[in-house]
Structure 1
């Protein structure tokens, strides 16, 4: 496909751009296969706005007369304002910006709107911008990403006695959503793993995702067992979980569904571990919203943040009705339970819901961040995200196809990764010295997951990335963020490493709206960002003086 087929009008002069925190400006609009480019010809420095079309979540067009011309540009003729020959395109972006283009000429306006709507929703992964992005300062890496399961295992010598690296999934035939190599108990052979995989939804048999060096306990991840209405059993799965807690009196299972949801899953072939066959495992049900419910929560929150009525009661009511902070509280609370099991009680834990690709990753990531100081540096945090979300297959292409503004019918979209960033921000705010990265890193990641120059968040699994050549043909965001200049910018100058667990408070009074993300296009938050940046610069300068 040629992108030119979708571009009926490539350039338009005399366009007015209105964007948050900036005065209206007049200039030239250009549409390319992946970007919208606006050049302000009236400014001496010729300011430009470059917007990735993938970032546009929804467009609204109108061919009514533009009153804006008379209000801001007195030289617009009366006939131009009243003839109906102009149009307006409102672009609502996935990063929550709302931009408006006033375009002279109805036909040009409709052509531009059609191009934006088409090019912003391309489904073919290999036609997306990361495959065309070639910055001068970067070259395609020989090794894509920060690490691999093999490298991670080789660096954890504590695992060697009881755990091994299995390549049973090297051709993705056992589990299409797992990486080629996984860490499993040493006493379990590959044939046993293959049989256990058939007993778990999508083949996601229990694998190790975290080893706690303090006491040797582990966190395992999987999908739900396929018991069905007949309550089938799988001795290989039972043997695998028994090997996980060898030498211990019991283990815990945290199911991210309610007991009722887990029981209902039997009607469609799923279910949960039976006490009869998993007698040494104690199960907790901690229901967490996912899918459509979580997406609708985000939509309501963004709507509340865009309410300009200045009515306090209305604002508070909308914020509460969105239930977003309840989801934040629930995620942190469930992660806290997981940490209690491993850190305080000294027992290993298996985490799963139904598919094991959403809430399971969310709480295992938060738990590791709470427990492990190695995960709290910039590099450690990015490595954690790579292991838990990229390699362990969160379906980014499905979950992040649309954000809060889209008019499309909700399908598989769900802001689970954005919820993670919000939860990490709550930790960052409660423990400003314990995390080695800044809020800016969380904002960058929360933006990139929806629209990016990099290939890191493309596709739904490692298998898909390999099939499409993502690792050979695109740049890795995490590697780019660790370049010296980027690392310095995203580091926390107040960071002081602590070996202690950082236990977050989940009381309602302790949790706050993430203003830096949800209100970042408002003037009040911009002033706060400027003040924070000034403080950051002062701290850095003070540190340099102290070292000299």
Structure 2
């Protein structure tokens, strides 16, 4: 590693500590071609441009330390190949097969900044001029930060690599330009693994019928949309209440149609519908909606509560705005910037509004859970398209009520049903094509945040781990999996057919993200399981009761609507009943009555908390301020200053995993010995597992990559506005760890 002077020296004139000069470091054209050849390219990946030597900076305190190497841009990723020899003695336990720690998938690039004469400027697509900056900073959607100095590369190479990175990551593109199309044309069909087969894909009538039988629901399967004749924003197969007529199914292209989500064991069910966005006369819209609500009620002979999520929860634009404010506190360029932001870090996170949106989504899910669990009331959620907040709330409700969805395969099946088959616009919300940025919003990430809150409060209830959720959030930005590449199953089917015209070539078969073997080997996938998961004990058939037992934590609360918490920023008030907005008084007998004793969320939670805990029953989140915690593994894994060496919750879970694995090895050895007749004369010792000192960012960031530095850099003593908070005596200075 080279040291290029202190922070006070301009990037253009660094003072070298190394004896190696830039001229001696520069490689020839043959060496650059050799590096491109040695680069681990995927099938269909083509290198567009490269530059060498390029300095990759480290996040040191105001200095220009870094590593020289070659910067390349392909149709899949931006890669940096270091000139230094690898000193790794053993392969990392958790390595992604598709890209490495110095690789950035093009769809994972969030923002690019150019630096000239210490002035930082945001680079936008279509605004690249002939002049290139001396330094580029790349902010990634997985919150990694890369800084590259182009000063030492040839002018023509530096210009091409800068323009190439900006063009292929920020310019609008067509769907067929995504790397998945090139990859699978070259790679051919991908074999389906055993792990993927456990996930129900909800692509056939049998999958939907099996789920209806599992939940003991009573709805009618609709097959008329098999060729997407009804709507392109509905799955090929779905369930509706039995009282819905064929005429109603074909009306308004599926708008306002109550689509079944899940059935409670009491008989009531959860439905969702897209709003009637077209301007209709009251004489047309009111009778139609009246028939839909009547059909829901007649199916189960319960009342119906409507939830207009568009008016009770933040909009998609609000979600995007809050997350933009939130994520900036984790995109750290250097240690100096980190410590400056650390002064008001917690208050800044809270003021972003991201935590408040998480609370609101969890709170709305709790409201619907009460209607289903205690009040035996059908719930119909409504939203403009029915594929954003409906997906979030519906998935959370099923996680809280159904323990099947807390297993690894069950959770993946839930995402297939509610998000993929439910036509969530992954392509637009992730902005893979860089076309309409106003449609971009981290709706799926918001759901994963809510799941992480539930998991942190009820760890033994979930079979999958926090690492699994983190990897899943990263996989959104890998342009290979059909799960996150399309806005609907119709778009996926149409796109794959376009790529296979009337030729001998078969349609492209994009795998789903659930085929984890494409990214990780079996040992790495072991990190996806939670070692503290409390499996449900198998009950003897002779002792089983003929009826399904209810949850131990039943909600013995009166029928009521929620009122807002007196604390600002906790929960929003419940929306007005849909009856007042659209339907009038003619269907009031089906609508949940709002006249009841007010009930706060705290009382609702406390009543459930007083019951015996059952990890395979109902789960509710605590929504107090301290209970909503930061998803530390995802947001802090790339910041060296916050790492805990040899500690942290991740390290504790890793130790528990090692113990569980050792117990399993011993059990297998005992089973083998018991089946061997000569086991008394043969004794096989189980080899000890190698132990390593990991940091709290494990398994994503290796501990060897971090350097031990003072808690607060000395150069910040005069820059931070902490004169009133820190005394000037030497004793207090030593307590803070200042050297």
Q: Say yes or no: TM over 0.5.
A: yes
Equivalenced residues, count: 489
Q: Is residue 422 from structure 1 mapped to residue 458 from structure 2 by the alignment?
A: no
**CA positional deviation for 1:379:** 0.6
Aligned pairs for 1:58-73 within 5 A: 58-64=111-117
The 3 A distance-change label for structure 1 pair 244 and 484 is farther
CA distance in structure 2 between the partners assigned to 1:530 and 1:161 by the alignment? 40
CA shift, 1:295, in A, is: 0.8
3-state SS of 2:310 partner: coil
Instruction: Find the counterpart in structure 2 of residue 411 from structure 1.
Output: 438
Secondary structure in 2 matching 1:419: helix
CA distance in 1, matches of 2:246, 2:132: 69
User: 2:207 matched to 1:152?
Assistant: yes
Q: Does residue 297 in structure 1 map to residue 322 in structure 2?
A: yes
Which residue of the other structure, out of 327, 343, 353, is the alignment partner of 2:373? 343
Q: Give the corresponding residue for 1:111.
A: 160
Q: Cα offset for 1:501?
A: 0.9
Q: 2:221 aligns with which of 153, 165, 170?
A: 165
**CA positional deviation for 1:440:** 1.1
CA distance 1:21–1:337, shift in 2 (3 Å): farther
**Aligned: 1:100 with 2:154:** no
Runs of 4+ aligned residues of structure 1 deviating over 4 Å after TM superposition are 19-23, 45-48, 63-66, 134-138, 140-145, 158-161, 226-230, 310-313, 481-487
Q: Residues 37 and 50 of structure 1 are in contact (CA less than 8 Å); yes or no, is this contact kept in structure 2? A: yes
Distance 2:405 2:216 in 1: 21
Cα distance, 1:434 vs structure 2: 0.2
| Cα distance in 2 for residues equivalent to 1:204 and 1:17 | 54
Query: What residue is the counterpart of 2:293 in the other structure?
Result: 241
User: Residues 26 and 208 (structure 1 numbering): CA distance in 2 closer, same or farther, change over 3 Å?
Assistant: same
Q: Return the offset for 1:320.
A: 2.2
CA deviation vs aligned residue, 1:475-532 (integer Å, no higher than 9, x gap): 2111336985565331111111432111111111210121222222112247437624
Instruction: Evaluate the alpha carbon distance shift between residue 44 and residue 484 of structure 1 in structure 2; reply closer, same or farther with a 3 A threshold.
Output: closer
| Structure 1: unaligned runs, 5 residues or longer | 1-6, 67-83, 259-286
Asked if the contact 1:63/1:106 (under 8 Å) is kept, the reply is: no
Structure-2 separation of matches of 1:481 and 1:252: 43
Q: Establish whether residue 531 from structure 1 lines up as the match of residue 658 from structure 2.
A: no
Q: 1:546 to 1:434 in 2, by over 3 A?
A: farther
1:224 aligns with 2:275: yes
The secondary structure found in structure 2 opposite 1:501 is coil
Query: How far, CA to CA, are the matches of 1:20 and 1:146 in structure 2?
Result: 44
Corresponding position: 1:540 with 2:660? yes
Most deviating of 436-445 and 131-140: 131-140
Question: Does 2:46 correspond to 1:12?
Answer: no
The structure-2 alpha-carbon separation of the partners of 1:216 and 1:488, relative to structure 1 and needing over 3 Å to count, comes to farther
- Equivalence for 1:191: 247
Q: Is the 8 A contact 2:405 2:411 kept in 1?
A: yes
Instruction: Measure, in 2, the Cα distance between the counterparts of 1:297 and 1:402.
Output: 20
Aligned to 1:442: 469
Following the alignment from structure 2 to structure 1, what is the Cα–Cα distance between the partners of residues 217 and 132? Answer: 76
2:512 corresponds to 1:456: no
Instruction: Tell me how large the CA RMSD over aligned residues is.
Output: 3.4
Secondary structure at the aligned position of 1:99 is classed as strand
- TM-score, normalised on structure 1? 0.80
- Whole-Å separation in 1 of the counterparts to 2:103 and 2:407: 31
Change (3 A) 1:130 1:529: farther
2:169 paired residue among 111, 116, 120: 120
Maintained 8 Å contact 2:531/2:653: no
Once the two structures are superposed, residues 78-101 of structure 1 have per-residue CA deviations (whole angstroms, 9 ceiling, x without a partner) of xxxxxx998211111111111011
Match of 2:568 in 1: none
Matched, 1:90 2:133: no
1:466-505 to 2 correspondences below 5 Å: 466-469=493-496, 472-480=508-516, 487-497=525-535, 498-505=615-622
Which residue of 2 is the match for residue 265 of structure 1?
A: none
Distance 1:505 1:85, change over 3 A: closer
8 Å CA contact 1:15–1:102 kept in 2: the answer is: yes
Task: Tell me the CA shift for residue 345 of structure 1.
Answer: 1.4
Deviations 1:192-228 (A, max 9, x none): 3112x45x6xx3521101122x212211011123585
1:171 partner SS = coil
Deviates more, 1:104-113 or 1:15-24: 15-24
Q: What is the CA-CA distance between 1:63 and the residue it aligns to? A: 4.6
Q: Which has the higher contact order (CA 8 A, sep 6+)?
A: 1
Please list, as runs of the form range in 1=range in 2, the aligned pairs for 1:31-50 lying within 5 A after superposition.
Answer: 31-44=73-86, 49-50=102-103
Could you list the per-position Cα deviations for residues 208-263 of structure 1 after superposition, in whole angstroms to 9, with x for gaps in the alignment?
01122x212211011123585853435344333322222424111111133xxxxx
- Residue aligned with 1:293, SS: helix
| Higher Rg of the two aligned structures | 2
Give, in angstroms, the shift of residue 335 of structure 1. Answer: 0.6
Q: Corresponding residue for 1:363?
A: 393
Corresponding residue number in structure 1 for 2:560: none
Q: Tell me if 1:372 matches 2:428.
A: no
TM-score, normalised relative to structure 2: 0.61
Query: Which residue number corresponds to residue 262 of structure 1?
Result: none
